[in-house]
Amino acid sequence: MRADVEYSPVGEGLGMSECWLYVWMRRVAVIAAHVIAVGLTVLISVLSRPGTSLFSWHPVCMSIAYILCLTEGILLFSPEGTPFCFKARKGKVRLHWFIQALVILAAATGVGFMVASKNVSERPHLATWHSLLGVGTLAATVLQAACGICLLFPKLLKLSPPRLKLYHATCGLVVYLLATVTVVSAMFSDWFQATVKGVVWYAFLLLPLFPALVIMNQITNAYLPRKKITT
C-alpha cells in the first residue's frame, strides 16, 4: 500500500473557487504584484544611479534578479493570468527556466560588483546581516535551480513527478521569502537610509511584502493537500 496526496486549490470544497468576488480579488492582487515588482525595480534602479560607482550596479542587478525576475518567474504559473501570452504549460515551463536563469545571472553579476566595490574601498566582506542573508539567498537560489533540474530526471531519484513538483514549489517559496527578507534588510543599509527618508522609506519597506503574500497564496493554493488516495 502506498499513500499519495492529491493537491488542489484551497477553497474548492467550500465553493470559494466559484465566488466571483474571491476570484476578482485574487486577480487584482496578482496584477498589483506585477506592478509592484516592475515599479520597485525601476525605482531602485533610478535611486542607484547606475554607472556612478561600482556599488551602484549592485542594487540594480539584485533588484532585477529577485524583485523582478524571481517574482515574474513564479507568477507565470498563476491561475489568475500573467502578462505573458503563453497558455500551454510547456511554454510556461520553458519561459520559467529562462527567467530563473536570468535570476542567477543577474544575482551573480550583482555579487561581483559588490565584491569589486568592497575590494576597491578596502572594506570588509560579510560584515552586515544584509550581506550574510544575501549569500544565503544566492546559495538557496542555486540549490533551487538544481532541484528544478531534478524535475527533468524523476526516475533517477525514484520519486513521482507530482511529489517532485511539490518539493520544488515548496523550496521555491522558501527561496522567495528568504529573498524578500534580504531585500527588506537592504532598506536598513546606510546607503538606502541616506537616499530615501521619511514616509517614503516606510513605503519602500512594505512594498516587497505584498508580492510575497501573493506568491505564498498562489503556492499554498496549488499544493495544499485536499485528500489522500491510497493505491
Q: pLDDT tens for residues 28-69? A: 999 999 999 999 999 999 999 999 999 999 999 999 999 999
**Among residues 130, 134, 127, 132, which one has the least CA distance to residue 107?**
134
Q: Do residues 17 and 226 lie in contact, with contact meaning Cβ atoms separated by under 8 Å? A: no
CA separation for the pair 30, 93 (Å, rounded): 19
Backbone angles phi, psi at 119, to 5 degrees: -65, -40
Range with lowest mean pLDDT among 14-23, 67-76, 126-135, 176-185: 14-23
Q: What is the pLDDT of residue 49?
A: 95
CA separation for the pair 47, 78 (Å, rounded): 31
What is the pLDDT confidence band of residue 177, given thresholds at 50, 70 and 90? very high
**What does the H/E/C string look like for 52-107?**
CCCCCHHHHHHHHHHHHHHHHHHHCCCCCCCCCCCCCHHHHHHHHHHHHHHHHHHH
What is the pLDDT confidence band of residue 225, given thresholds at 50, 70 and 90? low
Q: How far is CA 162 from CA 167, 214, 218, 221, in A?
A: 9, 22, 17, 15
Backbone angles phi, psi at 230, to 5 degrees: -100, 140
Each residue of 119-173: pLDDT tens digit?
999 899 999 999 999 999 999 999 999 888 888 777 776 667 777 888 888 899 9
- The model's pTM: 0.85
Cell of 210: 505584498
CA separation for the pair 7, 170 (Å, rounded): 13
217-222: average pLDDT = 88
